[in-house]
Structure 1
Amino acid sequence: METLYLGCLALGVIFAVVSVLLGDLIGSALDGIFDVVSFHFISPAVLAGGITVFGGAGILLTRYSSLDNGPILALSLLTAAFMGVVMYLGVVKPVNKSEMSSGFSMNELPGKIGEITVPVPAQGYGEIMVKFGAGNSLHTAASFDHHPLPAGIKVVVVEVEDGVALVSEFEQRRGVDA
């Protein structure tokens, strides 16, 4: 039995090391394997963690307890199941809920308020910073009205043309004729 436990422990450790090195490839390859099972808590991470804990608990109980093989097997399975549930509820489920994309479409820019970070000349390009969600994104910008726009002012994106945000000053500056 100790060989089974040692094999499970080694398999789990190898899976963990390979997951760290090739995580995205393994994740996409194993993604559809558990689709036939309707339980969402069976994931490669939880399954590998359970197998590793099963092997480790089995080795420890075999070497450091006076129990027979049957109770050791039962306790190892219970420990693995318990740690699998803990891993699912404590790691996998919160991570799945917290996933969010920072991606956006350039089509979402019109109407957004931004700030000039690199001055935009009347005929030419500069740069604006627009807030999307919790982050900021920088975009190439040109003046919609063909007026120079200095750094630090607020602008509104009027439209996007060929990947360039065409912007206009959000508020007219005092003392400047429109």
Structure 2
Amino acid sequence: MLELYWGLLITGVLFALVTVVFGDLLSSAIDGMFDWMSGDVLHYLQPMVLFSGLTVLGGSGILLTKYSPLAAAAVLFLSLLAAVLSGTLIFFLYVKPMQNTENSLAFSMQDLVGRIGEVSVPIPAQGCGEVVMQMGGGVTNQIAESFDGNSIEAGARVVTVEVKDGTLFVTRLDEPKL
């Protein structure tokens, strides 16, 4: 049994080293291969959870075999219990919170309707200019036309009224008088 525990421990350590060193390369090489595992039933069987459980199983099996007077069956049971507990903790304390923090920088042009921006290139009465808008943690520059048919100078604050064919139709934002 000690050889099995050593094999599991070494496999887990090697997996950790390979994913740290070659993680991005492997991720793009096997892109989408394990997407079937992300369903409702198997969403907790992430590779990180599985291999950390195997590593704990191997390590605790080695320690309990060498340093405790327990029988092989008791060592196996306690090692499996430690593996399941550590896998559960890793999933709920690390994997799940990290999945919830993932976000994208992508946005739809329709998301810009109602957004306030600033004219960076003057918008003529009949023609195009450019608007800068805050989106998430960055800014985006978009082609814009006047919704009202009035020219809008650079630096003016505008609001997007509608989007057609990738062009924002904006109108000057009336600032409240204080």
TM range (shorter): 0.7 to 0.9
| Partner in structure 2 of residue 108 of structure 1 | 111
Counterpart mapping for 1:59-74 below 5 A = 59-74=62-77
Contact 1:50 1:84 survives alignment (8 Å): yes
Q: Does 1:41 align with 2:44?
A: yes
| Partner in structure 1 of residue 16 of structure 2 | 16
Q: CA RMSD in A?
A: 3.1
For residues 54 and 74 of structure 1, the distance between their equivalents in structure 2, rounded to whole angstroms, comes to 10
Match for 1:119 among 118, 121, 125? 121
Which amino acid is the alignment partner of residue 112 of structure 2?
L
Structure 1's 34 and 98: CA in aligned 2 closer, same or farther, altered over 3 A?
Answer: closer
TM-score by length of 2: 0.74
SS at match of 1:29: coil
| Partner in structure 2 of residue 4 of structure 1 | 4
For residues 159 and 77 of structure 1, the distance between their equivalents in structure 2, rounded to whole angstroms, comes to 59
For residues 171 and 88 of structure 2, the distance between their equivalents in structure 1, rounded to whole angstroms, comes to 54
Contact 1:149 1:169 survives alignment (8 Å): no
Contact 2:161 2:168 survives alignment (8 Å): yes
CA deviation digits over 1:106-160, x for unaligned, max 9? 12323322233x23342553331144xx544413233413514222x32111333
Q: Taking every aligned residue pair, what percent have the same amino acid on both sides?
A: 37
| Partner in structure 2 of residue 94 of structure 1 | 97
Match for 2:56 among 53, 56, 68? 53
Unpaired segments ≥5 residues, structure 1: none
For residues 64 and 141 of structure 2, the distance between their equivalents in structure 1, rounded to whole angstroms, comes to 60
Shift of 1:100: 4.1
SS at match of 2:113: coil
Shift of 1:172: 6.8
Q: Does 1:84 align with 2:84?
A: no
Shift of 1:102: 4.2
Q: How many residues align?
A: 169
TM-score by length of 1: 0.74
Which amino acid is the alignment partner of residue 55 of structure 2?
T
For residues 48 and 79 of structure 2, the distance between their equivalents in structure 1, rounded to whole angstroms, comes to 18
Q: Does 1:149 align with 2:159?
A: no
Structure 1's 127 and 90: CA in aligned 2 closer, same or farther, altered over 3 A?
Answer: same
For residues 148 and 165 of structure 1, the distance between their equivalents in structure 2, rounded to whole angstroms, comes to 13
